[in-house]
């Protein structure tokens, strides 16, 4: 299968990062979102990111302009139907994703490969709503897409070898390194990472340490580039909670129980960096711990 035109569903941080990665590698891209304002913000963010790379000498002016020129936007899901590869990058909610795949199915070409950037949900289950489970698989990019070199490839029970190999070659053409995960809740990276972040939140919840000391301890004691609470804020506390709930439900094991403090922060709308407040307050020039 030859991939030339890629459709990205969702113009949030991940969708825009994925769109930029494909476009920079020479693919034509259709970026879709139901909200025109989200699309406009997304394209503005893409442009700003490319401008920063240009100023740092990482890309040329021609490369910057060509990357932007290869990205087309639309608010109509049907417009994505003529692409060779679809990457769904909507919010981490099973019902939202299933609705997208069900509505998209009638508009797709017979040979179009459909993928989901889900960070935790069952690929086999999502494939069941796609109308083409043999042409469906998980394609999980890491955040931020431009910086992170890893992409997880996840086959559903019906995914064909040809589909898998086509997507693997595409990932390598982006300059990324693929790893293969079986279709279990949260796959490889998040199954290891998110429970660690959840445990850090328990450590705060139980009064073992402060936000600053927990993060400092892991940065200096385990040589992590970011502390776990800082990283949870960066990922988004709602996303962390959603992944923990998927693992808790999927494995029926209490070790995956979300920390009550994580639940409370999400209920309060303290979702991390994107909300301006989480375990840190981002309203000033320097983030300040909220506890």
Catalytic residue status for 248: no
Q: Does residue 287 sit within a domain?
A: no
Task: Find where tokens 């609470």 sit.
Answer: 229
| Model pTM score | 0.91
Same domain assignment for residues 166 and 207: no
pLDDT in tens, 124-139: 999 998 999 999 999 9
Among 88, 92, 120, 152, the active-site one is: 152
Q: What angle do CA 48, 50, 56 make, to 5 degrees?
A: 105
The verdict on residue 167 lying in a domain is yes
**Catalytic residue from among 120, 140, 181, 230:** 140
The verdict on whether 152 is a catalytic residue reads yes
Q: Are residues 93 and 117 in the same domain?
A: yes
> What average pLDDT does the structure give for the chain?
96
The percent of residues above 90 in pLDDT, for the chain, comes to 96
Judgement on whether residues 156 and 12 belong to the same structural domain of the protein: yes
**For the domain that residue 205 is a member of, what is the CATH number?**
1.10.1040.10
Asked whether residue 290 is assigned to any structural domain, the reply reads no
Question: Is 250 in the same domain as 207?
Answer: yes
Mean pLDDT across 1-30: 95
CB 82 within 8 A of CB 110: no
Q: Are residues 53 and 108 in the same domain?
A: yes
* Domain end call among 154, 181, 208: 181
284 within a domain of the structure (yes/no): no
What is the domain extent for residue 11?
A: 5-181
Peptide bond just before 144 cis, omega within 30 deg? yes
Please confirm, yes or no, whether 122 is among the known catalytic residues: no
Q: Give, for 28, the enclosing helix (H) or strand (E).
A: strand 28-32
Residue 118, pLDDT above cutoff 90: yes
The H or E element containing residue 264 is helix 260-267
Interval 224-243: pLDDT, tens: 999 999 999 999 999 999 99
Quick one: 158 and 61 in the same domain?
Answer: yes
pLDDT at 286 (0 to 100): 94
Q: Is residue 119 flagged as an active site residue?
A: yes
Identify the pLDDT of residue 136. 98
Work out how many domains the chain is built from and give that number.
2
Task: Tell me how far CA of residue 169 lies from CA of 17, 153, 174, in angstroms.
Answer: 19, 11, 9
Give mean pLDDT, residues 30-54. 94
Closest CA to 24 of 58, 67, 73, 53: 67
Task: Verify that 122 and 165 share a domain, yes or no.
Answer: yes
Distance CA 240, CA 217 (A): 21
Confidence of residue 29 (pLDDT cuts 50, 70, 90): very high
């Amino acid at each position: 299968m030859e991939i030339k035109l890629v459709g990205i569903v969702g113009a949030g941080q991940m969708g825009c990062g994925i769109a930029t990665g494909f476009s920079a590698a020479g693919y034509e891209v259709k970026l879709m979102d139901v909200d025109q304002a989200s699309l406009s913000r997304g394209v503005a963010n893409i442009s700003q990111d490319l401008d920063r790379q240009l100023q740092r000498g990482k890309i040329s002016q021609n490369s910057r302009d060509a990357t932007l020129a290869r990205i087309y936007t639309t608010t109509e899901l049907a417009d994505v139907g003529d692409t060779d590869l679809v990457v769904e990058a909507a919010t981490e909610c099973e019902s939202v994703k299933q609705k997208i795949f069900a509505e998209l199915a009638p508009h797709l070409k017979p040979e179009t490969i459909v993928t989901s950037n889900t960070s935790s949900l069952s690929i086999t289950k999502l494939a069941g709503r796609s109308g083409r489970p043999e042409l469906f698989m998980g394609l999980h990019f890491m955040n931020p897409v431009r910086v992170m070199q890893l992409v997880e490839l996840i086959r559903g029970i019906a995914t064909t070898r040809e589909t898998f190999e086509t997507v693997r070659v595409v990932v390598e053409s982006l300059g990324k390194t693929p790893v293969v995960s079986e279709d279990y809740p949260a796959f490889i990276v998040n199954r290891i990472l998110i429970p660690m972040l959840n445990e850090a939140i328990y450590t705060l919840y139980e009064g073992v340490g402060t936000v600053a000391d927990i993060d400092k301890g892991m940065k200096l004691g385990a040589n992590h580039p970011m502390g776990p609470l800082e990283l949870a804020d960066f990922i988004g506390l709602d996303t962390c909670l959603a992944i923990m709930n998927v693992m808790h439900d999927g494995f029926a094991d209490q070790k995956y129980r979300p920390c009550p403090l994580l639940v409370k922060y999400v209920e309060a709308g303290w979702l991390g960096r994107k909300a301006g407040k989480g375990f840190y307050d981002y309203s000033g020039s320097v983030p300040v711990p909220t506890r």
